[in-house]
Amino acid sequence: MRQLLRRLWWFVRLRQLERDVREEFEFHREMKQQELEHAGHSMADANLATRRALGSVALTQDQVRDVWIGPGLDAFLRDLRFGARLLGKNPGVATIVILILTVSIGANTAVFTLVDHLLLRPLPYAEPERLGTVVRHYARGTLTGEGYAQNGATWFALREGVPEL
């Protein structure tokens, strides 16, 4: 956690730090160029040799930024800024996107909650493996309007262990 906070702090101060890196890089470039000029190279040759020796300023800044805040976090934050800029240019699309995401996340949460409560968690009974279902079978054609519901006598008989009624 401490490392993540440190990296976020670097990101907050990134502009100042990049300016410092650029100034230090320019200092080293000037020193190298003066060294080559004192060694007898022309100004143009010393400039070219210095650029070859030290490389690109932008590449060096990218490498330093990767060390400070990490390549993954840097890319994520750049993508986040880019997405915010694009959504800011078209507020109608931004509103629809936010509404769709809100409804999708809400529906996903509701489905997961149902699955969790109905399928994943154990039943709130002491011995759930002893639960059963009472079913009443009727012969074909004998079903009349009565007899659908279980009455109290059926439950008492089941409790006492009577196999059939």
Per-residue pLDDT of the chain (165 residues; tens, 9 = 90+): 777 777 666 666 777 777 887 888 888 888 888 888 888 888 888 888 888 887 777 787 777 777 766 667 777 878 888 988 888 898 898 899 899 999 999 999 999 999 998 888 887 888 877 777 666 666 666 555 455 556 667 777 777 776 654
**Domain presence at residue 114:** no
Whole-prediction pTM:
0.37
In the chain, the number of structural domains is 1
- Is the distance from CB of 131 to CB of 123 less than 8 angstroms? yes
**Domain presence at residue 107:** no
**Domain presence at residue 141:** no
**Domain presence at residue 55:** yes
**Domain presence at residue 149:** no
- Owning domain of residue 60: 2-89
Give residue 87's identity as a one-letter amino acid code. L
- What is the C-alpha separation between 71 and 54, in angstroms, rounded? 22
**Domain presence at residue 101:** no
**Domain presence at residue 105:** no
**Domain presence at residue 17:** yes
Kindly tell me the burial class for residue 69, based on how many C-beta atoms sit within 10 Å of its own C-beta (0-12, 13-18, 19 or more): buried
What are 21's two structure tokens? 């890196």
